[in-house]
A and B are shown apart, each in its own frame.
Chain A
Amino acid sequence: MSRRLLGGRVGLAATLLLLVPLLMLLSLRVGSAGLSDLPTLLRGVLGALGLGDGGLDASQQAIVELRLWRVLTTAGVGAALGLSGALVQGLFRNGLAAPSILGITGGASLGATLAILLLSGYGGALVAVQDAGVLTLLVPLFGFVGALVTVLVVLLLASPGGRISVPSLLLTGIAVNTCVAGLLSLLSSLVLEDWEVSRAVLAWTFGTLDDRAPAHAGTVWLCLAVAASVVPFVAWELDLLQGGEDDARSLGVSTARVRALVVGAAALSAASAVAVAGQIAFVGLVVPHIVRQFAGRAHAAVLPISLLAGADFLLGVDLLNRWLLGAAHLPPGVVMSLVGGPFFLVLLALNRREVETW
C-alpha cells in the first residue's frame, strides 16, 4: 500500500487539491475594496500575470494584484509549513516535532530583527541601497538567511563526525534555539527605548500576509518546489526509518542521505515561509497531525497531503479571518495560535488512548 501512488489516498489528495483553487478564488473575491465581480477579477489576474491587458483601471488592477500576491503567498506559506512539519515529524518519529526544533523560526526572527535594526538606521552606512522596493525585501531576505544559517549551525554541531544522529539533532536544536532566543531578547531589549523599532520587531513576530509582493510569493513557491521534489526520494525511506536506524540500513536505506535530504527540504521550505510571512505557529505542528488521522502513516500519503492540507488550512483560516473581521483582521500568527491551540487540545482529548500508548 505504501508504494501505491499517494499511498492509495488519491481521493483525499484530489479533494484537497481541488480545494486550493476554490479557496484561492473565494479569497480573491473577499476584500475591503468590495471588488468581487468575477470577470473583472479574472481579467485583472490575467493582466497581473502578463497574459494580455486586463483593461482594468489602474487602481482596480492594483487591488486585484494585491489580492493575487496575497493569496499565492498564503497558499505557498501554508503548503511549505505543512510539508516541513510532516518531514520533521517523520524524521524525528515524533508527532510533537515542529520545524522550529531545527532553529528555523528563531534564526529567521534574528535575521529579520537585524534587518529591521539596519533599516531603522542602527547600522549607519551599512544599508547602501536606498531604493524602497529593495529595502522592503531586506527583512524577508535577512529572515531567510538567518533561518538557513541557524539550521546549518545546528547541523554542524549535531554531527561532529559527519554523521547526524536524530537525538543529538534534537538536543542541539534546543540548545541553539536557546542561544538564538537570548540574542533576540538582547536585541529587543537594546531597542526597547525606540518604540517605533520595537513595534516593528514585535509586529514581525505576529506574522503578516498583508500587502505582499510578487517577490514574496515567488520566493516561497520556488523553495516549496525544490523542497517538494525530494518527496519521492524520502517518502518510503521515512516509513522504513520508523523501525529504527539500524533496521532501515539493513533493508538498504541510505539513512545518511535521507536525513540530509529531509533536513534540507524541511529547512528550506519553512525558512522561506517564515521569511515572507513572519512567524505563523502551529501549521507545521497541527496539519501533519490531522493528516495522519485521515491518511494513515505512509509518508507517500502524509507528505504530499500535508502540503495540500497546509495550503487549504492557511487559506481557509485567512479567508474566515478577513471575511469576519474585514480590514480589522488579526495577524495570521495570532489567529493560528488562537485557533491552533484549542484545536490541538481537542485532538489530543479525542485520541487520548493513542497518546498514552505512544
Chain B
Amino acid sequence: MVNLLEGRGLAFEHPGGIRAVDGISLGVARSELVVVCGPNGSGKTTLVGLLAGLLVPLAGEVRLEGRSLTGLPLRERAQLLARVPQELRALPDVSVSDFVLAGRYARIDRWRGPTRKDADAVRFALEASDVADLGRRSMQALSGGQRQRVLLARALAQEAQVLLVDEPTNGLDPEHQVRVMELVAGLACHARAVVVVTHDLNLASQFATRIVLVDAGRVVIDAPPADVLRREVLEPVYGSALHYGAMPAPDGRPFVLPWLPPVGARAADDAASRDRPASDGDAS
C-alpha cells in the first residue's frame, strides 16, 4: 500500500532544548483514518505541525505523495494537504460561504477570481459537512459544533487528498462529537488519507483504522483500535485510573472510562502507580 503522507524519523526540539518529538515514523495510506492519541504534552500537536509542514523537523522528513514537503511551494502543498485547525486565532467577520471559499485560495487565479468550478466545490463542501443552510450566516454567529463543521468544510473545499484534523471534538457535546467524527470518517471512505489528533480514545476506537499512541515524543504502539485499548498498553501511558470495557456483541468494540475505584479499593492501586513519573503539563 502506498502512503500518501509519510513521516520518517521525525524529531523536533522546542526552544530551550525540550525534545517534543523524538524519532517518530508514521505513514497514512488512501482510505485510511489514522488517529494520533496521547496524554497532554506527549508531542501530538508538534507531530501534526511537522506533518502539516508548519514546523521544520530537526531530523527526518515528511513526504507528501512521494515528494519531500520542504521542497514543495506553499500553494502546491495546500492543493495536496488540508489542515483543519483546532481553533482559529480570531474568527473573521465574514459569511460562512466566504470563509469556506478561502479553502480554494491555492486554486483560484488571482486575476480571474473564483470560477464556477470553485463555486461548485464550495457548495459541495458545505453540503458534505451538513452546513449548507448556514452559507449566509456570519462566522461569529455559529455554535461550537457548527464552527467545527465549517472548518471541516473549508478543508474539504481544498480538494486535497490528505487531511490533517487537529482535535475536532474539543468542546463539543457527545452528540456533536459523534456527528463530527462520522463526517471525518466519511471523508476517508472517499479515498482520502485522514489523520486525526484527539484525546478521545473511545471516538478513536469507533472510527479509526489505526491508532498511533504517542508518549514522550515516541510512538508507543501503531495498531488497530482493538490492539490499543488494552490495559497492558494504556496503563504505562495513562496510569491506572481507567476502566476497560467492550460494547455488547455483535459490535464488540473496546472502550475505556476515566474511573477511580471506591476509596477502600484504591490503596493498592496507588502504591502501584507511585513509581510512574507524573507527565509534564501541556507543552503544546
Contacts and interface: CB of A to CB of B under 8 A. Distances in A.
Interface stretch (B3-11, B31-39, B74-82, B259-267): B74-82
B98 A243 contact: no
A13 interface: no
A134 to B, nearest CB: 42
B92 A239 contact: yes
B125 to A, nearest CB: 14
A243 B88 contact: yes
B79 A252 contact: yes
Contacts of A244: 85, 88-90
Interface stretch (B103-111, B169-177, B191-199): B103-111
B90 A3 contact: no
A43 interface: no
Interface in A12-69: none
A252 B98 contact: no
Contacts of A254: 74-75
Contacts of B108: 3
A15 to B, nearest CB: 23
Interface in B59-107: 74-75, 77-79, 81-83, 85, 88-95, 98, 101-103, 105-106
B74 A239 contact: no
A244 B49 CA distance: 14
A9 interface: no
A182 interface: no
Nearest to B85: A247
Contact of B82 (A1, A250, A253): A250
Contact of A93 (B53, B54, B90, B110): B90
Contacts of A243: 85, 88-92
B86 to A, nearest CB: 10
A251 B102 CA distance: 7
Interface string A194-237: 00000000000000000000000000000000000000110010
Contacts of A240: 102, 105
Given A244-B88, A251-B158, A252-B78, A1 B105 contact: no
Contacts of A239: 92, 94, 102
A324 B105 CA distance: 50
A337 interface: no
A28 B113 CA distance: 40
A242 interface: yes
A249 B110 CA distance: 17
Interface residues of B, number: 33
Contact of A247 (B75, B89, B94): B89
Nearest to B84: A250
Contacts of B144: none
Contacts of B105: 236, 240, 251-253
A2 interface: yes
Which interface class (under 10, 10 to 19, 20 to 34, 35 or more) fits A?
20 to 34
**Most chain B CB atoms below 10 A, which of A4, A240, A243, A254:** A243
Contacts of B79: 252
**Most chain A CB atoms below 10 A, which of B90, B105, B110, B158:** B105
Contact of A2 (B77, B78, B88, B94): B94
A97 interface: no
A250 B81 CA distance: 8
A326 interface: no
B101 A246 contact: no
A250 B102 contact: no
A246 B54 contact: yes
A255 B81 CA distance: 17
A251 B94 contact: no
A242 B54 contact: no
Contact of B88 (A1, A247, A253): A247
A296 interface: yes
Contact of B110 (A1, A232, A245, A247): A232
B90 A249 contact: no
**Most chain B CB atoms below 10 A, which of A3, A93, A296:** A3
A297 interface: yes
B245 interface: no
A1 B101 CA distance: 9
B49 to A, nearest CB: 8
Given A233-B110, A243-B92, A244-B88, A2 B83 contact: no
A249 B92 contact: no
A140 to B, nearest CB: 35
Top-8 shortest CB links A-B: A252-B78, A252-B106, A244-B89, A243-B88, A250-B83, A252-B75, A242-B92, A297-B93
Interface of B: 49, 52-54, 74-75, 77-79, 81-83, 85, 88-95, 98, 101-103, 105-106, 108, 110-111, 113-114, 158
24 contacts: A2-B94, A3-B101, A3-B108, A3-B113, A3-B114, A240-B105, A243-B85, A243-B88, A243-B90, A243-B91, A244-B88, A244-B89, A246-B85, A247-B85, A247-B89, A249-B53, A249-B74, A250-B81, A251-B105, A252-B77, A252-B79, A252-B106, A297-B92, A297-B94
